[in-house]
Amino acid sequence: MTKKKFFKIVLLVVVLVLVFDIGFGWCMRWYMTHNDIPGDYRKIEYMLKGINAQILFLGASTCMNSIKPEALEKVLGKSVFNGGLNDQRLEFFDVMSGAVLSHSSPELLILVLRQNDLVIHGNGRLKMMSIYYHLGNTKLDDYLNEGSLKKKILLNSALYRFNTYWWRILLYHFKSFDELASGGFVGKPVPKVLPYRVDKTQEIEAIPPVNQSKLLCLNNILATCRKAGTKLWVLIPPEYYIRNKGVEPGALSHIHKFCNENSIPFFDDSQHPDFVDHPEYFYDNDHLNVNGAELYTQFFLKRLMDEGI
């Protein structure tokens, strides 16, 4: 094979890949604008396009598995939605709060955090939002663009953005559940073997440095809420660990400080006495099971009523 023929074949392959990539991207954009994406994306789609809840919870799995909106709605007479999603972090909460508050003004946004959310690195499962790249959410685009030049270039490829996700979306059409049926709540079962309470009393309580990019996300969420006239609360749900009594974990102190400086109601229930000695309420050390969620929802309902919500 001559060099000339070889380069012609390479060029042809490149052109075919580009044509397929452009065509695939066009098809997926058409699909996304004409359909509600099922599975994990159903909740995201709802928050991006149609939610109008008066009380919105935003967080990761500890949020999704802890609060039952239906129980709150029955008593409060207000619409409530649990926007928790597995393994998401402050970047996702920033994007979603901005999207929701751009088309609605909930009375209250409750940000459900984990103790280390202001010190950890990485953005969790934010990559799954790549399918929305260049679809009008500039804040999301900025977060996705963070990193190497190679990543920024690849994001312009539909094959890269939808890699593995297109297959999951297809499968969700055949096997999926109604992610909105319980107001976004997804309960974890009571495990056959109850979790063992992990002892963290010997951990060093030195304060790790705050991650400035995470702090910026939190400031963005606060500014968005204030602009929309939405109250902001910050919440840490129960967890099943033994901690030094009277000593605030170093990572958590950053969240506490931020809330104090900005007059944000902060509720640290990580060592709540009704849960701290009760493994029967937990699925694992970080997540409540359905029974624990039922009890915690009732406790939180009383708090909402006491605060005049």
Residue type, 145: N
The residue type of 161 is: R
pLDDT for 156 equals 76
173 within some domain:
no
pLDDT of residue 13: 65
> Is 127 inside a domain boundary?
no
pLDDT (0 to 100) of residue 15: 63
The distance from CA 255 to its chain's CA centroid, rounded to whole angstroms, is: 17
pLDDT value at position 199?
A: 84
- Residue 220 CA to residue 186 CA, distance in Å, equals 28
Number of independent structural domains in the chain: 1
46 belongs to a structural domain: no
Q: What is the pTM of this model?
A: 0.88
Q: How many CB atoms lie within 10 A of CB 7?
A: 10
Whether 14 maps to a domain, the answer reads no
In whole angstroms, how far apart are CA 203 and each of 199, 243, 247, 250, 269?
9, 9, 11, 10, 20
| Helix, strand, coil % in the chain, rounded to nearest 5 | 50, 10, 40
In a domain, 31, yes or no: no
Give the CA angle between residues 56, 119, 146 to the nearest 5°.
80
Contacts of residue 210, defined as CB under 8 A and 6 or more positions apart, other chains included, come to 118, 119, 254
**What is the structure's pLDDT at 161?**
81
**Residue ranges of the chain whose pLDDT lies below 50:** none
pLDDT at 56: 97
d(C-alpha 171, C-alpha 130), whole Å: 19
User: What Å distances lie between residue 193 and 15, 234, 276, CA to CA?
Assistant: 56, 31, 17
The stretches of the chain forming alpha helices (DSSP H) are 3-34, 40-49, 61-64, 69-76, 90-103, 138-145, 149-154, 158-161, 165-172, 212-228, 250-261, 290-306
Which domain does 207 fall in, by range?
Answer: 55-122+181-306
The pLDDT assigned to 118 comes to 93
Is residue 155 one of the residues assigned to a domain?
no
**The pLDDT value given to residue 100:** 95
- The pLDDT score that the predictor gives to residue 36 is 73
Is 3 domain-assigned?
no
CA distance readout (Å), 163 to 60, 166, 177, 195: 23, 7, 23, 36
Residue 202 lies in a domain: yes
pLDDT at 11: 67
CATH number at residue 286: 3.40.50.1110
Interstrand relation of 241-242 and 55-59 (parallel, antiparallel or unpaired): unpaired
Tokens of 81: 């939605």
